[in-house]
Structure 1
Amino acid sequence: MGNTKSEIVYSVPISDKVPGESCIYRHPLCTDSLVITPHYEIQTMQDAILKTFTRFEHRQCLGTRLLPNPSGLLSTQGFNSNANGQEIIRNSSQAVLKQNQVNSMYQQSIDDLNCCGGGGYMVTNQTNIELNIANPSNNQQKTNPTQANQQYFSVSRNNGLLKTQTQGQYNDQSNNESNANLSFQNIVYQQDFGGAKTEYERQKRIQQIQLSTNLSFTEKQTLIDIENKKFELQKASILTNGKSSLMGAKQMAKGGEYCWKTYKDLFNTVKNLATGIRSLQLTEQNDEQEKQTLDLVGIWSRSREEWVIVDCANVLYNNVTVPIPEQIHASDLSFILEDTQLSSIFCGRNELERLYRMIRSSQKAQVVMSLGNLQNIICFDEFIPSILQKFFTDQIGINVITLKFVIDKGAQLPTIPFPKISPDNIQSFCYTTRQDNGKPIAAMLSHRNFVSFLASVWNISHLKPQQDDVYLSYLPLSHIYEKVSIYAALYAGASIGFYSGEISTLIDDMFILRPTIFCSVPSFYNKLYQTIQDKYFKKTEGVERWINEKALEQKLQAHRQSPTADVKHTFYDNIIFKSFRNSLGGRLRLAFSSSAPLFSHVHQTLKLVYGVPIIQAYGCTQSTGLAFITNALDSSEGHVGGPTLNTEFKIIDVIELGYTNDDIDETGQKIIRGELCLRGPGIFEGYFREQEQTSKEIDKNGWLHTGDIVQLLPNGSIKIIDNRKNIFKMPQGEYVSPEKLERIYQQVNSITDICIYGSPIQKYLVAVVVPKKDLVDLIAKEYGLPTSSYIQNCRHPQVKVDIISDIQKLAQKQKLFSYEIVQKIHIETTPFSILGLVTPSNQLKRQQAYKLFKQGIDSLYEFDS
């Protein structure tokens, strides 16, 4: 399906071949030397970020979308009142929720309903919240924002969930709006009915609230009814001076527009934050084998602007960012906290609640959850429920403060000067997974590594971002792929908009933001492809289906014949495929896919239907995210391109797996296959406190042994075909340790042996299982089968049903993530030890097992394409 264009050469040899290895290959533009920096004056990421702030200070930088809620109440977010003049708040009479009843509801929601996973709180029949009127003796309602002692509250809704009500005291001693000063004294939780999955469920919960509290919420009404007394939510525009600050909301359109900070805003915030971090002593010093002192700062959150703010502060002031994966098991979180001895973590309120639940679960199980040296939690969200504050402070001994508090603290002090930073200084950790035990392990990435990444992008004109680009960030910033994408956008002076927090609204976010650059993973593109197939090809009939198929066929033909591999077509793009492009905002010019190979048919269809090149990239944490990338002018699929300008590679024999530099393909042609090795300034500095593991992966000549098995194609590009390590990536980019999961699943009573298999191009895990004879005999007895025939009885469909049920029950009990749960099984009747698949130390010979069971494994994925 399309040959690689002959004029595109991805790599060239720069050395002779040696036994057991290929030649060393580089990008055609780097035959003499690799590219180290994007510009000579840029040696560290501190240089790069400072250059960005000075060049683009008035351009918009970070954007967050504010969503309206279903009942018509606008969502709110905190802003410095002197940032853009007027601020909007909602005011009412002095109506507040009883704090103790709210805390009771909050406690019940977390403990009994597991907090619904989204930061909202489910309504149950047992919930009984009263709404009282503060100062009932004061019957005079004050609505003039310039009057003294005015009470205010704001209703906040995030991700569709009604969350907070804020009470504040307004004081104006001079009766002058420009001197207004709003001081918030109390923040409490309001009942949620937005976590419902369906409109029917939401309406049912509204009725429950109305019955138990006399509250009235309607679809179009923005009134709170309390015992037939209506207090209208009024808007008050307050002019504030530079010293004032308040919780407010930008006036926004019905669809939920993006609110932006400029590069100047970001720079000022970053400097104040760094000063606050230093004054409050929120970093933890660690000596990495006496090479350098590392000031560690943890971040645990989804992709959001506060993550970038904290990271930029670390970049400029020589702190080391320690990203904690958003979705993490309690045991792995404890390991990271012990490993790094972090004293402070920046996180969102959702993560704060998750930590609360982790600790509570361990307490109920009478197991101690180690938090290492954790002393401070800095919450990105300004509202922290008092029950959480009290729990962490009084019971755990951890100080909980807000990001705003740290920034305000820094703003009151002289800005600390920028320290001198060396390219060798560690800038960030990035946790990956050990292949032997599945535990987290921290790769250390230096300023040189990240500057090298910028160099690899900036010297390819059709790939680098531009000032007028808009980038949508939604992938986890704890992954190196998203982190370096943010750095590229910042260095270009582009605008970065963040998704609203829910994958289900990602397409809507794209429609509102209208990005020009988008980075994602194969799982997202696979869903887009399936939607197109279901809606426009499989379910259409007659002329409509013929037109769609003909349009795609004609575009494909034109694409193959175009000297520039153009994916656009004037007629078909404007008539047939326009709605597709507009659904993603209508401005997309580049899309990137990484973390796993993209199916060729998916790649081909999407780039033609949406009229945008989809660039495939390959890299790993240890190569600072990018090592190979395809050319936008290449019309072929099925490979990940050639090396970047800062990378050289070679391919070494893996004889035990049957891959060598002298392989022969099915046509009799010689091909080069083997393990991919990388070298260059982008290769990481090693693992934190794991010198032995570092030496296993980086040899004495500086070559990183990736473990990925590749095939070198005639034009110098590579194709990923296998992996020699016992860890693999899923399509979404998550790493899976089969050994770790096999140890867990061995607890299933119905299993004797299990071998788990996964692949970057398959959506879920499968397993080869040897059932226990007791289970098979029980099923045989139930169905009247002779118990003497174990092999025959293993073929009964109920055997698979029972084992999968047991596996999923255990997975739920162990709180495994969805991608760690085996979805299908192949039944094997001979124990692995008899098949010669077990080592003397009782370890599974994995590659031999995969080879032996290949036919059975392939059959489990047979109907998924």
Structure 2
Amino acid sequence: MPGDLFRSPVIIAIVVAVLIPLVATIFSYNKKPKLRSVEVKVGGEAGHTRRNHRFLSLIETPWEGANTLAALFEQACSKYPKRPLLGSRTLIKSETEVSKDGKKFEKVTFGDYVWITFDQAFQRAQNTASGLVALGHDKEEKIAIFAETRPEWLIALQACFRQNFTVVTIYASLGEEALAHSLNETEATTVICDVKQLQKIIGMSSHLKTVKRVVCMDEENQRLDTNLSGKTNWNVSSFSQLEKLGRDTPSEPRLPAPEDLAVIMYTSGSTGMPKGVMISHANIVSTVAGVMTAVPELNHNDVYIAYLPLAHILELAAEVTMLAVGASIGYGSPLTLTDISNKIKKGTKGDVSVLRPTLMTAVPAILDRIRDGVRKTVDAKGGAAKKLFDLAYRRRLAAIEGSWFGAWGLEKLFWDALVFKKIRGVLGGRVRGLLSGGAPLSADTQRFINICFGIPIGQGYGLTETCAGATFSEWDDISVGRVGPPVPHCYIKLVNWSSGGYLVTDKPMPRGEIVIGGPSVTLGYFKNQGKTDEDYKVDERGMRWFYTGDIGQFHPDGCLEIVDRKKDIVKLQHGEYVSLGKVEAALSVSPMVDSIMVHADPFHSYCVALVVPSQSYLEKWAKQSNVQYKNFEELCKNKEAEKQIVQSMAQVAKEAKLERVEIPAKVKLLPEAWTPETGLVTAALKLKRENIRKTFADELKQLYE
């Protein structure tokens, strides 16, 4: 029957795909590009400097009186006492599964989120602070927090601030040598850790010169054994014991001043030993003030999923911003984030499905995995479902890259309801916006998230040395490849890098090294005055500036784009320059590439690459091509597989308009994923280039033979 025909979703989709563009053409209009930052005159080295378009001067605090992290926390708890602040899931069961090749995997089943309110969190922080005093921690000593992201991490941090103790933050994935360096350099006397990290520091206790006390966070269904006789002479107690001690022996708070040192944050740097960045209370508070203006309608009804390392400035700034506005923070982990995450028992719910967050922060590697997971699911369905998805995706992509009306108007509502509603459920179904930081986000992934999840991505740019966000793309800006205008708490300046050919006089856009100035610029590197003097400058007006080493250009509307990195540029044998980071960012878009490091030897005329291929995509290709293999490791040694990866990268390289010399001539496929635990990437999943070069020195040598 004709009526039945027009009830078919595919037919309806085709009809709408024809009709709605006609309506969009009638109603769409070309808006004049919005000015998002303005040029400003400042002190220091000459260059091209811009500030946010909405504020005449830099902002330093979110509201009057909130000039330290301790004050901000106390005032937020006073304003939102009964609202839920920190949530974590109850563990129901943990079991071990064995795969066909004999590998063992832990699988967990979690229950619902259990919450503590703002006033409960404040009281726990008070008790913990008093407990630390009762344990004997002196005001001049440093406390290290060495644990995975969880509610006790933030409570411990705020407890330290109640007594003006400086906190040393260390990535849980840091290797033993770097861990010992961080603890010994800061002469930390107290370490607050979780059970997993406790075992790590006990094993290396002979290398820790100043540690006297260890506080271990409690684990469900697991009693802490504090009897370490013969292993260390430390005073070891549980977090719950510490809180009880503080409750029984309360101490008056000793609150910090804005200029006091809040955190020494050890970055899991991509080269050498980690450096400790000295961050004051005023530094972090100014970042919070700026970010609060950048996220539209940020308020106490928001729910934030916390799973990135709190020892990373991106996550720390995000969580402090959330508590400042009264939002709820639910904790998870990268391995339990979604229903199909590696550690989640099949058939049970991941963190986002239960929490249903409204806001989320992610590094590009996480977003790439979400993109690949959705594509894999769609490809597996095949048939009419895949055709409908492909049609919807093409129409939405054309609309976003076309008119404003098509991007956010009727057609978006139609495709969201027909195709993308179920996909949005992957992140819980309520996410209204997402912040990406830590590394460049590919245009392909950004568009995929925009389309399939129907949400804007605020791509940010900043460093530990600038206390995270220095720029933040506004949510009505649907362009890709840019990191937005300066956030209202800092200036962005471009200065000439003549030897690299980047000048502020370049047309049509000024280019140069990115220099960041303002109240969020940190105090320097701990016990490293030489490196501090090299990277930080104070101008004649007293403003601090940080020289990033990144190369940027300002678009006509005032948005910044990162185009290069001074340290990543290699000159090949015949004089051509290759920007390794730029090439890696372009090639990582390939669905067949999970991780990639491009290597260029200046004594040769071409570059090569180490590639961890996407296992699902490569095995799918092998099945379609009738390529026989016993396991993934054997498949990675297959020459035809190498050719397929090279062809895939060549295609995306062409689309990214890379030069011939920038495209790797040879590749080596590696079967094992690069994780922070392997020491090959940082906790933010940035490449540790030197570690990878050393680990795979023989493979790189063979690629040039």
TM-score (norm 2): 0.74
The 5 Å alignment of 1:349-748 reads 349-358=195-204, 369-381=206-218, 389-390=226-227, 392-413=228-249, 415-432=250-267, 438-460=272-294, 462-463=295-296, 465-499=298-332, 502-503=335-336, 504=341, 505=343, 508-536=350-378, 538=379, 543-559=384-400, 560-562=402-404, 566=408, 569-663=412-506, 669-701=507-539, 702-725=544-567
- State the match for 1:170 in structure 2: none
* Matched-pair contact (CA < 8 Å) for 2:144–2:183: no
Q: Distance in 1 between matches of 2:224 and 2:243?
A: 24
Q: Where do 5+ consecutive residues of structure 2 fail to align?
A: 1-28, 571-577, 589-594, 604-637, 643-665, 682-686
> 2:252 aligns to what SS in structure 1?
coil
Specify whether residues 817 and 649 from structure 1 end up closer, same or farther in structure 2 by C-alpha distance, changes over 3 A only.
closer
Q: Deviations over 1:376-421 (max 9, x none)?
A: 111002589899644x4423222221111111001112x3223242
> 1:395 aligns to what SS in structure 2?
coil
> 1:278 aligns to what SS in structure 2?
helix
The 5 Å alignment of 1:115-264 reads 160=94, 194-198=95-99, 256-264=111-119
Q: Distance in 1 between matches of 2:30 and 2:226?
A: 59
The question of 1:278 aligning with 2:133 is answered: yes
% of aligned pairs identical? 25
Q: Distance in 1 between matches of 2:368 and 2:40?
A: 38
Question: 2:374 is aligned with what amino acid?
Answer: I
* Matched-pair contact (CA < 8 Å) for 2:551–2:566: yes
Specify whether residues 66 and 551 from structure 1 end up closer, same or farther in structure 2 by C-alpha distance, changes over 3 A only.
same
Specify whether residues 464 and 697 from structure 1 end up closer, same or farther in structure 2 by C-alpha distance, changes over 3 A only.
farther
Q: Deviations over 1:253-273 (max 9, x none)?
A: x86101111111111111111
* Matched-pair contact (CA < 8 Å) for 1:522–1:596: yes
Q: Distance in 2 between matches of 1:49 and 1:564?
A: 43
The question of 1:321 aligning with 2:346 is answered: no
The question of 1:64 aligning with 2:88 is answered: yes
Q: How many residues align?
A: 575
Report how far residue 37 of structure 1 moved.
1.3
* Matched-pair contact (CA < 8 Å) for 1:334–1:371: yes
Judging by fraction of residues, say which structure has more helix. Answer: 2
Q: Distance in 1 between matches of 2:481 and 2:704?
A: 37
- State the match for 2:612 in structure 1: none
The question of 1:37 aligning with 2:61 is answered: yes
Q: Distance in 2 between matches of 1:12 and 1:399?
A: 56
- State the match for 1:122 in structure 2: none
* Matched-pair contact (CA < 8 Å) for 2:129–2:163: yes
> 1:694 aligns to what SS in structure 2?
helix
Report how far residue 686 of structure 1 moved.
1.5
> 1:661 aligns to what SS in structure 2?
coil
Q: Distance in 2 between matches of 1:17 and 1:297?
A: 37
Q: Where do 5+ consecutive residues of structure 1 fail to align?
A: 70-159, 161-193, 207-218, 220-253, 286-294, 360-368, 664-668, 728-737, 739-754, 772-795, 831-865
Question: 1:658 is aligned with what amino acid?
Answer: G
Q: Distance in 2 between matches of 1:5 and 1:315?
A: 48
> 1:619 aligns to what SS in structure 2?
strand
Report how far residue 711 of structure 1 moved.
1.5
* Matched-pair contact (CA < 8 Å) for 2:91–2:220: no
Question: 1:585 is aligned with what amino acid?
Answer: G
Report how far residue 599 of structure 1 moved.
0.7
The question of 1:339 aligning with 2:185 is answered: yes
Q: Distance in 1 between matches of 2:680 and 2:440?
A: 22
The question of 1:28 aligning with 2:53 is answered: yes
* Matched-pair contact (CA < 8 Å) for 1:756–1:767: no
Question: 2:308 is aligned with what amino acid?
Answer: L
> 1:601 aligns to what SS in structure 2?
helix
> 2:111 aligns to what SS in structure 1?
coil
Q: Deviations over 1:173-212 (max 9, x none)?
A: xxxxxxxxxxxxxxxxxxxxx233449979x999xxxxxx
Report how far residue 764 of structure 1 moved.
2.9
Q: Select which of 301, 306, 318 maps to 2:147.
A: 301
Q: Select which of 756, 765, 769 maps to 2:597.
A: 765
Question: 1:516 is aligned with what amino acid?
Answer: T
Q: Distance in 2 between matches of 1:318 and 1:405?
A: 21
* Matched-pair contact (CA < 8 Å) for 1:511–1:583: yes
Q: Deviations over 1:266-286 (max 9, x none)?
A: 11111111001011113572x
* Matched-pair contact (CA < 8 Å) for 1:382–1:403: no
Q: Distance in 2 between matches of 1:535 and 1:382?
A: 35
TM-score (norm 1): 0.61
Q: Distance in 2 between matches of 1:351 and 1:339?
A: 19
Question: 1:764 is aligned with what amino acid?
Answer: I
